[in-house]
């Protein structure tokens, strides 16, 4: 598999695995990618653990499947986030993972020339799926340990062809905030306003990130979560138009709609940050309980 990690291009080969079941922490490194490839090639069941959990939490997850024998075929075992309950093991056979990858490659038109930015953790199904898509298509994985906002530059300059992921919510929200603020300042200058509108358009990257997040935590209520997600978007669309109309009606001018949108973007980012803080607090409480 072609991988670029920390600025270095490399070929990652399957690791030589022999045990019927192997456990691995899942940081975003070429070593983890090699373990995944090795498990698929040598018919090993690879349990990919969340590297951000405490040792005690990872030990609990190991014990939770100790009594279940390996199925004897290549597979990855991932754990749900546990946001709404105890994390549960989910077994994904090689056929499942490759079928998903083939379908995604067809829709996204991924081929050997593609460069796929991977910022989702490899212990998450979204990150793991990127490895399989690139392996099947011969594409290059641009592997990063975490998301950083500067990675958007690679997208804009054409160095990155495909990107997905929950961390894009914050980066996309920042770009939307910047675009809306600039629109309020540049609305009377056509070329500058065009740049601002393009930045606002990056907000569409939030949609798949939110959907992945919802599917991860919704467990048995995924249909309800998806419906609430669409409802929230519709409410936000209506609220933005109404507040923009209020601003224009108050005599602030049509360019004031950019500032109204910027305020709403700040509110959304604050909710996002509060959600992250709450999730981390719950993780610490679970670690303390264990």
Question: Do residue 97 and residue 72 come from a single domain?
Answer: yes
| Location of structure tokens 């594409």 | 139
pLDDT surpasses 90 at 3? yes
H-helix or E-strand spanning residue 80:
none
The whole-number pLDDT of residue 145 equals 82
Q: What's the rounded Cα separation, in Å, for the pair 226 and 183? A: 31
Phi, psi dihedrals of residue 260, rounded to the nearest 5°? -60, -45
The whole-number pLDDT of residue 31 equals 95
Query: Which of residues 169 and 42 earns the better pLDDT score?
Result: 42
| Location of structure tokens 């279940």 | 68
Q: Of the residues 130, 163, 196, which one is the last residue of a structural domain?
A: 163
pLDDT in tens, 149-193: 544 444 444 444 444 444 444 444 555 555 566 666 666 667 676
Which pTM was predicted? 0.57
Query: Which of residues 48 and 155 earns the better pLDDT score?
Result: 48
How far lies 60's CA from each of 46, 55, 65, 88, in Å?
17, 9, 9, 11
pLDDT in tens, 61-114: 999 999 999 988 999 999 987 666 778 899 999 999 999 999 988 887 888 888
Instruction: Give which of 289, 288, 286 is closest to 87, Cα–Cα.
Output: 286
Question: Do residue 99 and residue 240 come from a single domain?
Answer: no
Question: Do residue 199 and residue 253 come from a single domain?
Answer: yes
Q: What's the rounded Cα separation, in Å, for the pair 67 and 63? A: 8
Question: Do residue 195 and residue 234 come from a single domain?
Answer: yes
The DSSP annotation for 178-235 comes to HHHHHHHHHTTSHHHHHHHHHHHHGGGGHHHHHHHHHHHHHGGGHHHHHHHHHHHHHH
The whole-number pLDDT of residue 35 equals 95
Question: Do residue 7 and residue 72 come from a single domain?
Answer: yes
Q: Of the residues 135, 163, 191, which one is the last residue of a structural domain?
A: 163
For 120, half-sphere exposure in the C-beta direction (CA atoms, 13 angstrom radius) is 23
Question: Do residue 158 and residue 169 come from a single domain?
Answer: no
The whole-number pLDDT of residue 158 equals 42
Sign of CA dihedral 96, 97, 102, 108: positive
The whole-number pLDDT of residue 152 equals 47
CATH value at residue 92: 3.40.50.12780
Confidence label for 51 from pLDDT (cuts 50, 70 and 90):
confident
Question: Do residue 78 and residue 175 come from a single domain?
Answer: no
| Location of structure tokens 């309020």 | 184
Query: Which of residues 199 and 97 earns the better pLDDT score?
Result: 97
Number of domains in the chain: 2
Q: Of the residues 163, 179, 198, which one is the last residue of a structural domain?
A: 163
**Residue 264 belongs to domain spanning:** 165-289
Question: Do residue 147 and residue 170 come from a single domain?
Answer: no
Confidence label for 270 from pLDDT (cuts 50, 70 and 90):
confident
- For residue 131, how far is the Cα from the chain centroid? 14
Question: Do residue 100 and residue 157 come from a single domain?
Answer: yes
Query: Which of residues 44 and 277 earns the better pLDDT score?
Result: 44
pLDDT surpasses 60 at 232? yes
Question: Do residue 136 and residue 169 come from a single domain?
Answer: no
Q: What's the rounded Cα separation, in Å, for the pair 209 and 150? A: 18
Question: Do residue 28 and residue 147 come from a single domain?
Answer: yes
Q: What percent of the chain has pLDDT over 70?
A: 72
Question: Do residue 153 and residue 23 come from a single domain?
Answer: yes
């Amino acid at each position: 598999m072609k991988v670029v990690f920390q600025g270095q291009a490399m070929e990652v080969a399957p690791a030589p695995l022999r045990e019927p079941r192997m456990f691995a922490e899942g940081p975003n490194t070429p070593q983890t990618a090699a373990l995944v490839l090795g498990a698929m090639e040598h018919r090993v069941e690879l349990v990919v653990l969340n590297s951000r959990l405490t040792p005690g939490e990872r030990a609990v997850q190991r014990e939770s499947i100790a009594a279940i024998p390996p199925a004897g075929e290549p597979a990855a075992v991932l754990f749900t986030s546990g946001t709404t309950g105890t994390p549960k093991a989910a077994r994904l056979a090689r056929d499942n993972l490759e079928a998903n990858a083939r379908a995604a490659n067809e829709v996204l038109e991924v081929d050997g020339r593609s460069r796929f930015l991977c910022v989702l953790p490899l212990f998450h199904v979204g990150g793991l799926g990127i490895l399989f898509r690139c392996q099947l298509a011969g594409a290059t994985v641009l592997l990063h340990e975490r998301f950083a906002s500067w990675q958007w530059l690679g997208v804009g300059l054409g160095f990155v062809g495909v990107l997905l992921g929950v961390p894009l919510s914050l980066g996309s929200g920042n770009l939307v905030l910047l675009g809306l603020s600039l629109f309020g300042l540049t609305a009377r200058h056509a070329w500058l306003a065009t740049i601002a509108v393009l930045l606002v358009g990056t907000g569409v990257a939030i949609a798949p990130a939110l959907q992945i997040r919802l599917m991860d935590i919704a467990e048995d209520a995924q249909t309800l979560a998806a419906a609430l997600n669409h409802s929230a978007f519709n409410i936000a669309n209506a609220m933005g138009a109404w507040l923009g109309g209020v601003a224009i009606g108050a005599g602030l001018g049509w360019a004031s709609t950019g500032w109204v949108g910027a305020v709403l973007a700040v509110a959304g980012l604050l909710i996002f940050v509060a959600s992250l803080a709450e999730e981390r607090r719950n993780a610490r409480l679970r670690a303390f309980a264990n």
